Amino acid sequence: MSEKLKLKRQKSASTNKNRTTVSLATTDPVASVLVDAPVSHLEALYDYLVPEELSNNAVIGTKVLIEFGNSKTEGLVVARINKSLTTQKLKPILALSSPPEIIPPSMLRHLELVRDRFGGSFWNLIKQSVPPRIIKEESHLQDLPEGHLDLEVTDDFQSLIGRADLGTLKGSEKVRWAITTPLAFDAIKFVSQIAILRASQGQVLLLVPDEKDIRNFKKILLPVFQDYLVEYGSHLPKNVRYRNFLRVKQRKFRLILASRSGGLLPLEKNATVIVYSDLDSSHYELHSPGWNTRDITLLRPTDNSLIFISSSHSLEIERLVSIGWMESKRYKRAIKHNYLTIDKSDSYIPQLKHAISKGNVLVSVAEKGYANLFLCTRCRNSARCECGGKLQINLDRKVPQCYLCQKNFTDWRCLYCADNRPYVISKGIDRTAEEIGRALSKTSILISSGSKQIEVVPSGRHVVISTPGSEPLGEFAGVFLLDGERIFNRPTLRSEELAGFLWWNLIGKASLNAEIFLSLPNNHPLIQSILRRDPSYLASHQLVERKNAKMPPYFRIASVEGDSIDISKFAENLRSSTNYEITGPMLLNKTVSRLIIRATLERGSELVDLLDDVVKIQSIKGKGIFKIRFDQFDI
């Protein structure tokens, strides 16, 4: 246990001479306890005595109250042993601070693997995975009633996936699938059918991006599973969240519907984990150590089935498919979409008028409020730096600057055609609504954006203009995807990946005979991917580019922020090693800088250990602690 946690066994402080003598447990009277220490360098395993009165309940995975130094804090029992290796007197455990085995062995092993991958404090992971205790909820647990569930799927779903895959999903065979949601088939209903099939042979954990998705899935799944469905997520009240955690741990639920925080829940053997839209930013934990749903799911025990379902998979999943670790599944329907690209027409308005005559229309525009990007006026290629980052022109300056290394380009020229004329991309949702309103003066125009989102389109015919993530449910006779260059060429690592994910999601809302406008030229890789109805076509090109640029998913990236002087010294020392690719330091403000470190997948664990050691040394010396994040959503 201690080696997996990369923790040292520390000498316990001697007991207070005036402490009352306690009666010790007759079996394994010593507990190895992971202490919730106030500073990082003290996080370690410490030995404590187990009083006889607590012995039966102070089992592995139980939280306990202990004296650490001159204060009281929590600890987690990770082992019971017969004799301590330390020669100093030991302190006794004072009390239990959780029900016995609040963290089951399988969950503890899973947390170890997550900690080893992302570094940081093990106790931070415990706090993120186990809700704060509310004692009164522990007495309200009830046994599940006996009952039969009708876990049948619809005929149209059965005909869509075919007899072979239907049989596999209904059987006990372990699967590792990357499923692409089919076009012109409601994605929520499709994923729900997969969950129902897998639940017919075992427990299912369905992980979705946010609360809105939980509500949408509950409408379909709650009538099917009834009392055998349990909901879990940070959106729940504290008492309900703790109660549901205990219910998951102690009761046999067929379906657990959860957001990101449910990714660490304990599961039965041979359970199935389904991750919906793993590329959504809501699947990424913002607090240290900054894990994400996809990676912690991939760290699940080998007896779990793993199914990733999305309109367009992340490049991390596409890489696993390309090496044969996961199996790709795509199901196609007979659709007759009428596609129009910008090189076929100067205006999408005539097509929009035709679409509104058949039903509701969805118009997607780029979100507002970020720095202007630019392309080359002549060849329309992205403006890039030698480090691989994209260039941007901020509103308060005219000199192009790399978003990654912050290098200025006073005499910028295109790397492809040498032209020096930038083409700035800029247009907002309000202006788009105004233009469409003038062209279709008698048509209802609705805006769904920010805090004013439309969940369901009202009756009648409407043109709904939305920003990414604000699109309402429903099927549309027309889907118009504007601002393609602006979305595709954002100065971030995942811009192309997210653009494809967004557009495939929206095309999935189109009816069988919908009008679809794509604001990119016909020869663009994303357009070719859409016309081929194959998201992997674009992903294959992006994987080659990422590998050549030494970027994820072939490299792991650590972002290190801290005092500029300390970061500069650390970067200088690190450059003496040939094991890592170093970018920066970049000045974030007057006193804080950031360093980007890239390591191959094989050296990822080595980099985690190195940065953990650096943080512990800083803690011992009383210096400012670096803020470290591994594999962030975007950089």
Q: Please give the residue that has the higher pLDDT: either 256 or 145.
A: 256
Partners of residue 581 on adjacent β-strands: 598
At 373 the pLDDT is 61
CATH architecture of 145-330: 3-Layer(aba) Sandwich (3.40)
* Residue range 379-389: mean pLDDT, rounded: 79
- Say if residue 168's pLDDT is above 90: yes
At 6 the pLDDT is 53
Positions of CATH 3.30.70 in the chain:
555-630
Q: The whole model's pTM is what? A: 0.85
Q: Hey, is 273 helix, strand or coil?
A: strand
Closest CA relative to residue 294, chosen from 272, 279, 304? 279
Q: Are strands 204-207 and 255-258 parallel, antiparallel or unpaired?
A: parallel
At 3 the pLDDT is 43
Query: According to DSSP H, which parts of 456-603 are helical?
Result: 484-488, 495-507, 525-531, 535-548, 564-574
Lowest mean pLDDT among 110-114, 177-181, 537-541: 537-541
Residue 536 has φ and ψ, to the nearest 5°, of -70, -20
Closest CA relative to residue 322, chosen from 313, 331, 333? 313
Q: Hey, is 224 helix, strand or coil?
A: helix
Positions of CATH 3.40.50.300 in the chain:
145-330, 338-368+428-547
List, for residues 16-45, the tens digit of each pLDDT value.
Answer: 444 457 788 888 999 999 998 877 667 788
- Say if residue 50's pLDDT is above 60: yes
Contact in structure between 210 and 220 (CB atoms under 8 Å): no
Closest CA relative to residue 293, chosen from 118, 503, 466, 418? 118
Element (H, E) at 562: strand 555-563
Mean pLDDT is highest, among 198-207, 419-428, 444-453, for: 198-207
- Say if residue 8's pLDDT is above 60: no
Rounded to 5°, angle at Cα 273 from 1 and 508:
145
At 398 the pLDDT is 66
- Say if residue 384's pLDDT is above 50: yes
- Say if residue 429's pLDDT is above 60: yes
Torsion of the alpha carbons at 421, 423, 424 and 428, rounded to the nearest 10: 160
At 420 the pLDDT is 84
Side chain identity at residue 551, one-letter code: M
**Which tokens sit at 198?**
């897998």
- Residues in contact with 491: Cβ distance below 8 Å, sequence separation at least 6, in sequence order: 371, 373, 389, 390, 391, 392, 403
* CA within 13 Å, CB half, 45: 20
- Environment class of 198 (CB within 10 Å of its CB; exposed 0-12, middle 13-18, buried 19+): buried
Element (H, E) at 217: helix 211-225
- Say if residue 245's pLDDT is above 50: yes
Share of the chain above pLDDT 90, in %: 50
At 427 the pLDDT is 58
- Say if residue 369's pLDDT is above 50: no
Compute the distance between CA of residue 204 and CA of residue 196 in angstroms, rounded to an integer: 9
CATH fold, domain 555-630, is Alpha-Beta Plaits (3.30.70)
- Say if residue 56's pLDDT is above 60: yes
At 9 the pLDDT is 54
Query: According to DSSP H, which parts of 346-400 are helical?
Result: 349-356
- Residues in contact with 524: Cβ distance below 8 Å, sequence separation at least 6, in sequence order: 484, 488
* Residue range 528-553: mean pLDDT, rounded: 90
- Say if residue 632's pLDDT is above 80: yes
Other Cβ atoms within 10 Å of 309 Cβ, number: 22
Q: Are strands 63-68 and 71-81 parallel, antiparallel or unpaired?
A: antiparallel
Cis peptide before 468 (omega within 30 of 0): no
For residue 147, what pLDDT band results from cuts at 50, 70 and 90? low
For residue 304, what pLDDT band results from cuts at 50, 70 and 90? very high
- Say if residue 467's pLDDT is above 80: yes
List, for residues 228-237, the tens digit of each pLDDT value.
Answer: 999 999 999 9
For residue 279, what pLDDT band results from cuts at 50, 70 and 90? very high
At 318 the pLDDT is 95
- Say if residue 161's pLDDT is above 70: yes
List, for residues 170-186, the tens digit of each pLDDT value.
Answer: 988 899 999 999 998 99
Q: Please give the residue that has the higher pLDDT: either 144 or 234.
A: 234
Task: Decide which of 1.10.357.140, 1.10.10.10, 3.40.50.300, 3.90.1150.10 is the CATH code for 338-368+428-547.
Answer: 3.40.50.300
Share of the chain above pLDDT 70, in %: 93
* Residue range 513-531: mean pLDDT, rounded: 92
**Which tokens sit at 77?**
């029992």
| Residues, the chain | 635
At 428 the pLDDT is 63
The class (CATH top level) of 30-102 is: alpha beta
Compute the distance between CA of residue 109 and CA of residue 100 in angstroms, rounded to an integer: 17
At 424 the pLDDT is 64
Compute the distance between CA of residue 428 and CA of residue 327 in angstroms, rounded to an integer: 40
